[in-house]
């Protein structure tokens, strides 16, 4: 890609300015993420993307490279480019195809090719402008290019703002499993501009709600109740409700990541519904169901398994099923053979020695990670099969 206009000399004040103040009218706040090796801010609010001050305090870098996709770039790319131009000698961009099916080696190679052809060195700063796919691939490119360069997450989908942009998990998919090739590489900042959600298609927005919903049953029952009471406001994209949901989700994610950056224990609870969900995505082909749709259905299945193992009462399953359905997400699992379900779930990263391990709820607001007998797993799936409640994602 051709470089954008050369930057002006960098203003030293941009490197010392503090975080944006909390502002109720714009929903602005800052959530800090602290791990043993890093500390960074999640800046949340409206109108942040185009403000030069939003980028204050980032590492000095001659080159800024924006990685985006063909859908997001025309909407938000020019504003980001103009905002960061004063910080860099040159700003260039590279565009990827849109969709989970493109979270692969080919897209990763496209980024490497651009970095090498434009002469980017270790002082380069990458900006991931887009949803979870763009963020994960850009992060992995940053983790591996010249053995590691810094990057900024600029998530433009609800799912990415409340989950995938925070915590440093970067990866690409493999035909046999989702996110199986990757690295832990924390961003230097996450910027969640809530205004970018206004252009998000309804289906993508609903998919993001799945990742908000998950935080309640695994960590905060009060937040689960708040989501139930405010789901209509969230679906209507009311700014105050969105700001609260994004902030609380990021607070929980930051707390968990800070306690267990490398997913050796506690962090695994963030995968509630994901063991089933990743199997659905892999079996159907990446992109047919959105990630959040698969996770929504997966949470219903995980809730059923929790109840079948005696961890929660049966009423909890219906509570979760009803909430997922109200959010516009599928609650019925697609039909494919039992052997295929088990095969795919044994590729899950939580599996140990071929034993499938699930995130289960042992009481609302608290989760555990444990194995379950295959017959119980398959019984839970059958209870919520494609002939049961719910239905497939919208076309």
Sheet of strand 63-69: strand arrangement: 29-34, 39-45, 189-193, 151-155, 125-130, 63-69, 90-96
DSSP state for residue 45 in the 8-state scheme: E
Tokens of 389: 């409640």
Q: Give the pair of three-digit tokens for residue 352.
A: 């140990």
Residues recognised as catalytic: 147, 169, 211, 253, 263, 267, 271, 274, 278, 291
Beta-carbon contacts of residue 353 (< 8 Å; ≥ 6 apart): none
β-strands 29-34, 39-45 pairing:
antiparallel
Q: Beta strand 125-130 with 63-69: parallel, antiparallel or unpaired?
A: parallel
d(CA 179, CA 366): 25
Structure tokens at 4: 């954008």
For helices 291-308 and 274-284, angle between their N-to-C axes, nearest 10 degrees: 130
């Amino acid at each position: 890609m051709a470089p954008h206009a050369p930057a002006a000399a960098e203003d030293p004040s941009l490197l010392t300015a503090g975080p944006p103040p909390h502002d109720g009218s714009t929903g602005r706040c800052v959530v800090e993420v602290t791990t043993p090796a890093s500390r960074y801010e999640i800046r949340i609010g409206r109108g942040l993307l185009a403000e030069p001050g939003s980028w204050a305090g980032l590492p000095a870098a001659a080159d800024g490279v924006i990685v985006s996709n063909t859908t997001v770039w025309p909407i938000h790319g020019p504003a980001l480019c103009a905002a960061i131009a004063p910080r860099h000698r040159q700003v260039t961009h590279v565009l990827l195809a849109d969709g989970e099916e493109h979270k692969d080696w080919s897209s990763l190679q496209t980024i490497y090719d651009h970095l090498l052809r434009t002469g980017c060195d270790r002082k380069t700063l990458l900006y991931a402008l887009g949803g979870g796919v763009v963020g994960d691939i850009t992060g992995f490119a940053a983790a591996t290019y010249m053995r590691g360069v810094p990057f900024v997450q600029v998530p433009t989908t609800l799912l990415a703002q409340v989950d995938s942009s925070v915590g440093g998990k970067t990866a690409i998919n493999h035909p046999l499993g989702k996110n199986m090739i990757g690295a832990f590489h924390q961003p230097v900042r996450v910027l969640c501009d809530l205004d970018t959600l206004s252009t998000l298609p309804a289906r993508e927005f609903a998919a993001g709600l799945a990742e908000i919903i998950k935080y309640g049953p695994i960590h905060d029952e009060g937040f689960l109740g708040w989501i139930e009471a405010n789901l209509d406001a969230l679906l209507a994209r009311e700014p105050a409700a969105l700001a609260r949901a994004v902030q609380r989700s990021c607070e929980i994610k930051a707390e968990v990541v800070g306690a267990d950056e490398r997913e050796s224990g506690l962090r695994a609870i963030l995968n509630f519904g994901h063991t089933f969900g990743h199997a659905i995505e892999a079996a159907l082909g990446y992109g047919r169901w959105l990630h959040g749709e698969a996770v929504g259905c997966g949470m219903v299945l995980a809730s059923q398994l929790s109840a079948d193992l005696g961890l929660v009462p049966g009423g909890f399953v219906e509570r979760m099923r009803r909430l997922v359905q109200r959010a516009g997400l599928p609650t019925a699992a697609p039909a494919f053979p039992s052997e295929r379900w088990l095969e795919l779930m044994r590729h899950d990263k939580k599996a140990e020695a071929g034993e499938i391990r699930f995130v289960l709820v042992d009481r609302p607001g608290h989760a555990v990670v444990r194995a379950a007998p295959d017959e119980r797993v398959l019984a839970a799936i059958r209870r919520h099969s494609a002939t049961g409640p719910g239905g497939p994602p919208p076309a």
